[in-house]
């Protein structure tokens, strides 16, 4: 399945799509794969597989800690692609969330080729701007991959026009400035940002940064096409790992997915 089909299915059901994030390799490669598969089974429409990177500037402390441990465990790009393959085999679209340096070092066309061969749908690239994305735009076109760039509350109308034109699949609306992390309340800037993005594109708009429970998911689903959740899922695995019970994180991920899935299905539009 593609992200377009996933968003289309959600829209046909008059709801937002649930997009979940987990980093590859944490707490181990195998547990991360099982957690992603559990997320898919419990109602996630799309899954972002994080590619561990040593300098995760956009990530808050929870995700940064998980990524550090994944790297310490020896997680490599091949492990990320294997996780993507497992998610795709479970029937859910998988994108890689990655900073640009690892892709550049791997080889842009080679990465696109190998991602497509693994069944991946595309990349979310938080630190890559469209003006510097020429090789990726070319490679993603060759291998029919989504390219998801980020729009921020500070983005001008002119900037949103550039970002949305470069996107394929959907647009990632970062609901607030700063790093990732669960918040007590949904950003008041998010609805306005989504509205402004829609003035420039017909692509689905998914909102990320801050959602951690079903109530917040329902709030975002009232104005966005997709709800992106990352830190809350990673926290479930991190808490289990810290308690020396890594496998127990999988039921927690499944339970949270079910709660969020119910949230995006509430008729609040």
Torsion angle of the four alpha carbons 208, 210, 216, 221, in this order, in degrees rounded to the nearest 10: -10
Q: How far apart are CA 154 and CA 169, in angstroms?
A: 22
The residues near 167 (Cβ < 8 Å, ≥ 6 apart) are: 147, 148, 149, 201, 203
Name the nearest CA neighbour of 45 among 84, 1, 97: 1
Phi, psi of 111 (to 5 degrees): -65, -45
Contacts of 63 (CB under 8 A, 6+ apart): 23, 50, 56, 180, 181, 230, 231, 234
CA distance 196 to 153: 9
Could you say which of 14, 34, 55, 59 is catalytic? 59
Q: Which of 14, 45, 48, 255 is catalytic?
A: 48
Please list, in sequence order, all residues whose beta carbon lies within 8 angstroms of the beta carbon of residue 221, skipping any fewer than 6 positions away. 15, 16, 227, 263, 264, 265, 266, 268, 269
* In contact, 51 and 102? CB cutoff 8 Å: yes
**Does 48 qualify as catalytic in the annotation?**
yes
Q: Is 34 a catalytic residue?
A: no
* Phi and psi based region of residue 187 (left: phi greater than 0; alpha: psi -120 to 50; beta: remaining): beta
Q: In what order do the strands lie in the sheet with 171-174?
A: 146-148, 122-124, 94-97, 46-50, 17-23, 226-229, 205-208, 171-174, 150-151
Let me know: does 123 contact 103? Beta carbons within 8 Å.
yes
What is the C-alpha to C-alpha distance for residues 186 and 27, in angstroms, rounded to an integer? Answer: 28
Enumerate the active-site residues: 48, 59
């Amino acid at each position: 399945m593609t992200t377009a089909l996933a968003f289309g299915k959600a829209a046909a059901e008059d709801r937002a799509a649930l997009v979940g994030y987990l980093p590859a390799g944490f707490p181990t490669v195998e547990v991360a794969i099982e957690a992603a598969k559990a997320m898919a089974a419990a109602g996630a429409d799309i899954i972002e597989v994080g590619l561990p990177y040593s300098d995760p500037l956009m990530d808050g402390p929870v995700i940064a800690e998980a990524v550090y441990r994944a790297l310490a465990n020896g997680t490599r790009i091949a492990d990320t692609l294997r996780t993507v393959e497992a998610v795709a085999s479970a029937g859910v679209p998988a994108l890689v969330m990655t900073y640009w340096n690892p892709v550049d070092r791997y080889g842009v066309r080679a990465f696109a080729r190998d991602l497509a061969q693994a069944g991946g749908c595309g990349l979310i690239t938080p630190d890559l701007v469209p003006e510097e994305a020429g090789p990726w735009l070319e490679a993603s076109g060759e291998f029919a991959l989504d390219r998801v760039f980020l729009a921020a509350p500070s983005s001008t109308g002119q900037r949103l026009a550039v970002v949305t034109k470069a996107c394929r699949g959907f647009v990632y609306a970062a609901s607030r400035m700063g790093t990732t992390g669960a918040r007590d309340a949904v950003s008041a800037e998010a609805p306005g940002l989504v509205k402004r993005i829609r003035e420039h594109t017909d692509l689905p708009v998914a909102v990320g940064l801050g959602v951690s429970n079903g109530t917040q998911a329902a709030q975002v689903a009232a104005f966005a096409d997709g709800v992106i959740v990352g830190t809350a899922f990673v926290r479930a695995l991190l808490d289990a790992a810290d308690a020396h019970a890594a496998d127990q994180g999988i039921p927690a991920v499944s339970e949270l997915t079910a709660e969020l899935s119910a949230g995006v299905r509430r008729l609040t539009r």
